[in-house]
Homo-oligomer: A and B are copies of this chain.
Amino acid sequence: MIAYINSQFIEEEKAFLGIKDLSIQRGYGIFDFFRTRNFSPLFLDDYLNRFFRSARILRLQPLHTKEELKEIISEMIRINKIADAGFKMILTGGYSTDGYELSSPNFIILQQPVAMLDEEKFDKGIKIILHEYMRELPEAKSINYLVGVYLQDKLRQQKADDVLYYKDHHILEFPRSNVFVVTEDSKVVTPKEHVLQGITRMKVLELAKNQFEVEERVLTVDELKNAGEVFLTSTTKRILPVLSIDNATVGSGKPGKITRSLSEAFLAMERSLIKAS
């Protein structure tokens, strides 16, 4: 697989960063992640906008304009010839002379095949646990996943699939996904603040507005636990029903109607964007 690093296309195994880079020294950097289907990037403008927004928050100067990035991505799609892939762009704090101050960023793009979830996985849903934590600078997609990676062991122990962060009784997000709740009065609600503005989250909000009452607001742990339906949204998982929270069953224990309806609408939206091959 060919990767891209600091203006160079190179075999992924030969792509390195010097050990003075601020990602290695201080875990400082941002990234973004999008998918292609049938060689076509989905919602690319949205992802690139967020990439630039994250860079701005962390005061990292991107090496390329949006148009340049689109050309580089097109070139990688041509070179690697993978129809359905995930693209990860990473922008780090660069080679810091004192190991602390920002320098000229290093920039990486990685491409990898991405296996999407099948219908069976959707029907099975997922089991989650709660953990009190709010990401720092949550509006930025930073590379700081210390807590998320750390909690992987707890997930294994508790045989759970994912962990939902909350803070002061307000639910926030999963380490790599957003959360939606269908409240007792059938509103589709998702936390508004202190979370990453997921692109799938945004698209699902747009779709939901056509069919349901939708709210972006503070959501309590109690509302979550009393919800008829709960689901997550993410670039790789799209929409996935949450069927168990801290070992308590959600709703009927099966994917709810509104979740299924939104999942179908999202898949249809995605199909409408794929170029005919």
A contacts, CB < 8 Å to B: 3, 5, 12-13, 15-29, 58-59, 88, 90, 92-93, 99-102, 108, 110, 133, 136-137, 142-150, 152-153, 176
Contacts and interface: CB of A to CB of B under 8 A. Distances in A.
Given A5-B19, A28-B145, A145-B28, A99 B88 contact: yes
A259 to B, nearest CB: 25
A88 B19 CA distance: 11
A32 to B, nearest CB: 13
Given A16-B16, A100-B149, A24 B21 contact: yes
Query: What does DSSP make chain A's interface, helix, strand, loop or mixed?
Result: mixed
B24 A90 contact: yes
Contacts of A27: 23, 27-29, 142-146
A146 B135 CA distance: 10
B28 A18 contact: no
Nearest to A25: B143
A137 B147 CA distance: 8
Instruction: List the 5 closest A-B pairs by CB distance, nearest first.
Output: A27-B27, A16-B16, A26-B145, A27-B143, A27-B144
A19 B19 contact: no
Contacts of A136: 133, 146-147, 150
Contacts of A152: 100-102
Contact of A143 (B16, B26, B102, B150): B26
A100 B28 contact: no
Contacts of A99: 88
